[in-house]
Amino acid sequence: MTYYHEEQQFRQPWLLVLLMALAIPAVIVAIDVAVRQPALLLPALLLGPGVIAAIALLFALARLVVDVDRDVITVAFHFLWPKRRIRISEVRKAEATKYSPLLDYGGYGVRLGFRGWAFNVSGDEGVLVETNDGSRLMIGSQRPKELEAAIERAKREQEGHPG
């Protein structure tokens, strides 16, 4: 039984602006190269605008999926990172919290910062999961209180305290 499911995607306007800011000069350079040496048009388009288009497509398809069931928390950053699974029995504490993606973890995506690992896409809220061995994982969420409650429910049920 799944207690929690959330899917998030990169939808920040600044990301689109950044990709466009990179694409415009790349297209200009590709055109300039093509005018000077027409035989280099295809390589110029593949190296500049083609790479930027591939990155834009990757961000458009990538999504952060978080699931909590009775046994495990699964965090998957599709197209960007392998799945991370944390057994509920290994969770010492899970706390909904505000955080600074840039200061605490160095930005969005999959990051390793001073406070541990982070999987986040947008916003400044999430659930900090601390395991029995002391490792920490920040899971960015648009519904952090629900995520925290789902983890607590799974822990209670594993310990034989339903409800």
Give pLDDT tens digits for 77-106: 887 788 999 999 999 999 999 999 989 998
Percentage, residues of the chain above pLDDT 70: 88
pTM, two decimal places: 0.78
Q: Is residue 91 within 8 Å of 131, Cβ to Cβ?
A: yes
Residue 84's Cβ-side half-sphere holds a number of Cα atoms within 13 Å equal to 17
Q: Where along the chain do its domains lie? A: 2-6+64-158, 10-61
Spatial distance between the Cα atoms of 144 and 139, rounded to a whole number of angstroms? 9
Spatial distance between the Cα atoms of 25 and 68, rounded to a whole number of angstroms? 44
- pLDDT-flagged residues of the chain (< 70): 12-19, 44-46, 162-163
**pLDDT at res. 15:** 60
Beta strands in 54-102, from DSSP E residues, in sequence order: 63-69, 72-78, 81-87, 91-98
**pLDDT at res. 13:** 67
CATH of 2-6+64-158, one of 1.25.10, 1.20.58, 2.50.20, 2.30.29: 2.30.29
